[in-house]
A and B are shown apart, each in its own frame.
Chain A
Amino acid sequence: MPKDHGIGAASKRREDVRFLTGTGNYTDDINLPRQLYVHFLRSDIAHGEIRHIDTSTAEGMPGVKRVFTGKDFEGVGGLPCGWQVTDRHGAPMQEPAHPVIAQGKVRHVGEILAAVVADSRERARDAAEAIEFDIAELPAVVDMKAALASDAPKVHEDLTSNLCYDWGFVEDNRDKVDEAIRTAAHVTTLELVNNRLVANPMEPRVAVGDYHRATDESTLYTTSQNPHVIRLLMGAFVLGIPEHKLRVVAPDVGGGFGSKIFHYAEEAFVTFAARQLGRPVKWTSTRSEAFMSDAHGRDHVTKIELALDADHNFTAIRTETHANMGAYLSTFAPSVPTWLHGTLMAGNYRTPAIYVNVKAVFTNTVPVDAYRGAGRPEATYQLERVIDKAARELGVDPVELRRKNFVTEFPYATPVAVEYDTGDYNATMDKLAEIADFAGFEARRKESEARGKLRGLGVNCYIEACGIAPSNLVGQLGARAGLYDAATVRVNATGSISVMVGAHSHGQGHETSFPQVIAEMLGIDESQVDIVHGDTSKIPFGMGTYGSRSIAVCGSAMVRATEKVIAKAKKIAAHLLEASEADIELKDGQFTVAGTDKSVAWGDVTLAAYVPHNYPLEDIEPGLEETAFYDPANFTFPAGAYACEVEVDPETGKVTIERFAAADDFGNVINPMIVDGQVHGGLAQGIGQALLENCAYDANGQLVSASYMDYAMPRADDVPFYAVDHSCQTPCTHNPLGVKGCGEAGAIGSPPSVVNAVIDALHSGGHKVAHIDMPLTPSRVWAAMQG
């Protein structure tokens, strides 16, 4: 019997009512008295020297308050990078300055040249068209390997080259890996591209800056996944505003997928301009602006080699990746191809020797940073593709080859520095075989063939590192921040509870799932608990939501704070019941003296805490409110197995997803309905990457996919109903809820199975195609079929 409340219940989402009735409060819904509007004039040239900007005509136009250029920001800090990677030789990465408004040069299409602030959006836009500027175009670098040529134009003339870093991991493994590959019975090699993507949350970014001169307080309303991180970065490094004078509010946020983690120039601009002008300043991104100013994702070019012995045991993996950083380092960009990618290269398998080399490259393109999965999809894709290719070369079943090499004993220390605490990869594969109906595949293939279609089945496994992250560890790895989270549990006098959390909900349903945990712990109704998030003036200092970390890290903080509340409440109950504290039990909202029928209700104890007439004031303080900061001991390691079945039309190369199944192990699950939804959404993004989406630049650095007319978002008719299951549960051993996180799994786990399925379909039709790069558009598939 499924539970109807508490941990494990499919509680309906309370946030839905406001979203379904049009009464949400997104940042663009916020309009302040005397608000001004900014329009950014953006470069339409990828690389050039700014010779001249004349704003005089624009400044005289109706409604214009002021026009800002790079000169206005000469004394202002640049946008900081939050992670410093150290290269193979022990040197720090090359780290260029990242101005709020371009200074002297433009380095990508979309970079801000000037900003017009006016009393209406239209007047700001009109005036921006009257700005005259002269940019001397320079040759642009777009292709990463070309960017590393000795005579390549430099994106940043003050750096030695376009190489940000050359990272080796684990450097001590290198000789061992080379030797294992030299002596292997079989080596499978694959070169592939992990296509550049744009996160595309449906809500474009918005920022509203406000300033009160009398109190010297600034407020930034912004579409952020982590308001405290923005307050820290912008306050301390860009504008020099101390934390107590800077409030950052991220109200309802319409999706993020990583792209709203980072601190952006527009946020700093509106906060700065509001202080300069003494009036609120608002910016609402258009979708076209989003394409050329939101951080992009992926964009890796990789060569991977997998070595096997004569019994098909994996003996070594060697990879070389070029990772695009774009023109500047976005907030967490350097960590993505390194610590979020190299550490996952063992996958679900026992491979004793692994070496990963990553060259991060500056190009004249929009900065690239974390997008749903961030590094882990890139690791999973190359590994699961090369295993499939190896199985085909060796003439063995790809599922059996995986099973033969699975890690089966835990904890398991990989050769790439992480230790998996728990997992059962055979169990998720068994479950996948059931829900994907492997047994019925041949019959379905025959049915497709009878209709002249090619049918393929593709399978892959994945593992990810979530619950980001142990602060002391990431500090050693170059993170310039701690990655704990925090929660304050404020019990009110009548027993209801407000929980202030550092995590941010922008679709994940925290307002529903987090109260389920507290309701379970206290034995009270979920409706008695409300979650407060997204406002630095209300919540404790937390690091926000990304890396599938909310329940594993912030949820753990919430549990710790609730445990403190329970400990104090038991002292109060013991006093009220005239019993020993050690004898007090809490169950179903009642404190009972063990072995007796003496009890006192939750509400009586909370009332006593705030009306302490009969209260042990000599021992404990009045009130019932506790805060906990939680720093995880390790990453969590969700894992699973996915299967995709496709039909390929041999006449056109068009691929149709016929079936998709996902068997995940997320450890314990708080709300299975919400977990299913997270997987569904991830799957569509992964299928989108595999078949549809591609962020494309031409050789001059022009972004040619800057609207939904050109960038193919997955639509309802591109995807099927998915079969998802998370009944295989090996609980995390090091956090109090035994949870692992589920937000990114679908996007990490799905692209390889789609591509594996298409390759399988083509082989069934006699087309010996080894690989096709994503997205597998009809033209690419058709061309591959022609040999």
Chain B
Amino acid sequence: MTKVSMTVNGEAAEGEVEGRTLLVEFLREELGLTGTHVGCDTSQCGACVVHVDGKDVKACTIFALEAEGAEVRTIEGMANPDGSLNVIQQAFQDHHGLQCGFCTPGMVMSAAALLAENPKPSEHEIRDYLEGNICRCTGYHNIVKAIMAASGQDVSRIAAE
């Protein structure tokens, strides 16, 4: 077991881990931050996306020890300081961008990373960016719509509904 320490959602966090402990296991099992989910074992589904030093990372693809000293942000750290939903989270609720909620943390984290680098993405750019996030419930329609809305784009003319 090796000691690991990092900053998670602005707070210092540390624990003892095995070399093989994944970052997502450390977050869920050591820190009790169960908002980050595990939906596959081949780094395909994106339910575990978190931000490590500002970049979106699948937390099942790196060991906890690789995040030594890093700034990690998870879904639990995304709301506004007063606890209200941030603009992306709010858009997901307003546009019904989630159903069972299991892929949602990864979707929100990926969307935040996309909007940080591309503040007004096109539909095509959003769909392309979400290639690594699988949702089985929504058919992606309302996720793409929510991300467009969160970026301030008019979504009222998207397909008849």
A-side residues, CB < 8 A to B, are 12-13, 15-24, 26, 28-29, 31, 122, 200-204, 252-255, 257, 284, 286-288, 435, 506-509, 661, 673-674, 676-677, 680-685, 707-709, 713-717, 719, 721-725, 746
A17: B residues at CB distance < 8 A: 85, 93
Q: Are A713 and B39 in contact (CB under 8 A)?
A: no
Q: Are A719 and B96 in contact (CB under 8 A)?
A: no
The 7 closest A-B pairs by CB, nearest first: A22-B35, A19-B101, A254-B102, A684-B139, A507-B100, A708-B44, A507-B99
Q: Are A707 and B42 in contact (CB under 8 A)?
A: yes
Q: Could you list 11 A-B pairs, sorted by A, with CB under 8 Å?
A: A20-B85, A20-B93, A22-B76, A28-B28, A202-B135, A507-B101, A681-B99, A714-B140, A715-B133, A721-B123, A721-B159
Q: Could you tell me the distance between the alpha carbons of A787 and B130 in the complex, rounded to whole angstroms?
A: 37
Q: Are B159 and A255 in contact (CB under 8 A)?
A: no
From known contacts A22-B76, A202-B134, infer whether A509 and B159 are also in contact, taking CB-CB under 8 Å. no
Q: Are B40 and A287 in contact (CB under 8 A)?
A: yes
Q: Are A24 and B35 in contact (CB under 8 A)?
A: yes
B33: A residues at CB distance < 8 A: 22
From known contacts A17-B85, A20-B104, A509-B99, infer whether A681 and B130 are also in contact, taking CB-CB under 8 Å. no
Chain B CB within 10 A, most for which of A20, A204, A257, A286: A20
> Could you give, for residues 122-161 of chain B, a 1 whenever the CB lies within 8 Å of some chain A CB and a 0 otherwise?
0110111011011111111111110000000000001111
B129 to chain A, nearest CB (A): 8
**Residue of B with least CB distance to A707:** B42
Which B residues, 41 to 90, have Cβ-Cβ distances below 8 Å to chain A? 41-42, 44-45, 47, 74-76, 78-79, 85, 89
**Residue of A with least CB distance to B20:** A122
B124: A residues at CB distance < 8 A: 717
B-side residues, CB < 8 A to A, are 18, 20, 28-29, 33-42, 44-45, 47, 74-76, 78-79, 85, 89, 92-94, 96, 98-105, 108, 123-124, 126-128, 130-131, 133-145, 158-161
B23 to chain A, nearest CB (A): 15
A378 to chain B, nearest CB (A): 20
Q: Are A724 and B126 in contact (CB under 8 A)?
A: no
Q: Which of A203, A252, A506, A724 contacts B39 (CB 8 A)?
A: A203
B109 to chain A, nearest CB (A): 10
A203: B residues at CB distance < 8 A: 37, 39, 100, 102
Q: Which of B35, B38, B161 contacts A21 (CB 8 A)?
A: B35
A254: B residues at CB distance < 8 A: 37, 100-103
A200: B residues at CB distance < 8 A: 136
Q: Are B160 and A716 in contact (CB under 8 A)?
A: no
Chain A CB within 10 A, most for which of B18, B37, B45: B37
From known contacts A716-B130, A719-B139, infer whether A22 and B41 are also in contact, taking CB-CB under 8 Å. no
**Residue of B with least CB distance to A10:** B96
Q: Are B85 and A21 in contact (CB under 8 A)?
A: yes
A19: B residues at CB distance < 8 A: 98, 100-101, 104-105
A-B contact count (CB 8 A): 201
Q: Are B161 and A723 in contact (CB under 8 A)?
A: yes
Q: Are B34 and A22 in contact (CB under 8 A)?
A: yes
Q: Could you tell me the distance between the alpha carbons of A284 and B38 in the complex, rounded to whole angstroms?
A: 10
A605 to chain B, nearest CB (A): 34
Chain A CB within 10 A, most for which of B40, B105, B108, B143: B40
B89: A residues at CB distance < 8 A: 20-21
B161 to chain A, nearest CB (A): 5
A15: B residues at CB distance < 8 A: 101
Main secondary structure of the interface of B (DSSP, over half): loop
Q: Could you tell me the distance between the alpha carbons of A673 and B36 in the complex, rounded to whole angstroms?
A: 27
A22: B residues at CB distance < 8 A: 33-36, 74-76, 78, 105
From known contacts A677-B96, A680-B139, A722-B141, infer whether A715 and B101 are also in contact, taking CB-CB under 8 Å. no
From known contacts A22-B74, A23-B76, A255-B136, infer whether A287 and B42 are also in contact, taking CB-CB under 8 Å. yes
**Residue of A with least CB distance to B124:** A717
B139: A residues at CB distance < 8 A: 680-685, 714, 719, 722, 746
A707: B residues at CB distance < 8 A: 40-42, 44
B131: A residues at CB distance < 8 A: 715-717
Q: Are B76 and A677 in contact (CB under 8 A)?
A: no
Q: Are B159 and A723 in contact (CB under 8 A)?
A: yes
Q: Are B137 and A255 in contact (CB under 8 A)?
A: yes
B145: A residues at CB distance < 8 A: 721
Q: Are B134 and A680 in contact (CB under 8 A)?
A: no
**Residue of A with least CB distance to B99:** A507
Q: Could you tell me the distance between the alpha carbons of A204 and B160 in the complex, rounded to whole angstroms?
A: 34
A779 to chain B, nearest CB (A): 21
Q: Could you tell me the distance between the alpha carbons of A716 and B38 in the complex, rounded to whole angstroms?
A: 19
Q: Are A709 and B160 in contact (CB under 8 A)?
A: no
A287: B residues at CB distance < 8 A: 39-42, 45
Q: Could you tell me the distance between the alpha carbons of A18 and B124 in the complex, rounded to whole angstroms?
A: 29
A716: B residues at CB distance < 8 A: 126-128, 130-131, 133, 135, 140, 143-144
B142: A residues at CB distance < 8 A: 676-677, 680
B44: A residues at CB distance < 8 A: 707-709, 713
Q: Could you tell me the distance between the alpha carbons of A717 and B20 in the complex, rounded to whole angstroms?
A: 33
Q: Are A677 and B138 in contact (CB under 8 A)?
A: yes
A202: B residues at CB distance < 8 A: 37, 39, 45, 47, 100, 102-103, 134-137
**Residue of B with least CB distance to A682:** B139
A31: B residues at CB distance < 8 A: 29
**Residue of B with least CB distance to A725:** B160
A499 to chain B, nearest CB (A): 21
A361 to chain B, nearest CB (A): 28
From known contacts A13-B96, A16-B93, infer whether A721 and B45 are also in contact, taking CB-CB under 8 Å. no
Q: Could you tell me the distance between the alpha carbons of A589 and B41 in the complex, rounded to whole angstroms?
A: 52
Q: Are A257 and B136 in contact (CB under 8 A)?
A: yes
Q: Could you tell me the distance between the alpha carbons of A712 and B143 in the complex, rounded to whole angstroms?
A: 20
Q: Could you tell me the distance between the alpha carbons of A31 and B34 in the complex, rounded to whole angstroms?
A: 11
Q: Are A255 and B105 in contact (CB under 8 A)?
A: no
A18: B residues at CB distance < 8 A: 101
B16 to chain A, nearest CB (A): 13
A275 to chain B, nearest CB (A): 25
Q: Could you tell me the distance between the alpha carbons of A725 and B159 in the complex, rounded to whole angstroms?
A: 10
B35 to chain A, nearest CB (A): 2
B78: A residues at CB distance < 8 A: 21-22
10 extra interface residue pairs, beta carbon distance < 8 Å, beyond A715-B140, A724-B160 = A21-B35, A23-B76, A202-B103, A203-B102, A253-B100, A287-B41, A435-B160, A681-B99, A708-B134, A725-B160
A559 to chain B, nearest CB (A): 24
Q: Could you tell me the distance between the alpha carbons of A29 and B137 in the complex, rounded to whole angstroms?
A: 21
Q: Are A16 and B101 in contact (CB under 8 A)?
A: yes
Q: Could you tell me the distance between the alpha carbons of A237 and B110 in the complex, rounded to whole angstroms?
A: 45
B40: A residues at CB distance < 8 A: 287, 707-708
Q: Could you tell me the distance between the alpha carbons of A673 and B96 in the complex, rounded to whole angstroms?
A: 7
**Residue of B with least CB distance to A687:** B139
A21: B residues at CB distance < 8 A: 35, 75-76, 78-79, 85, 89
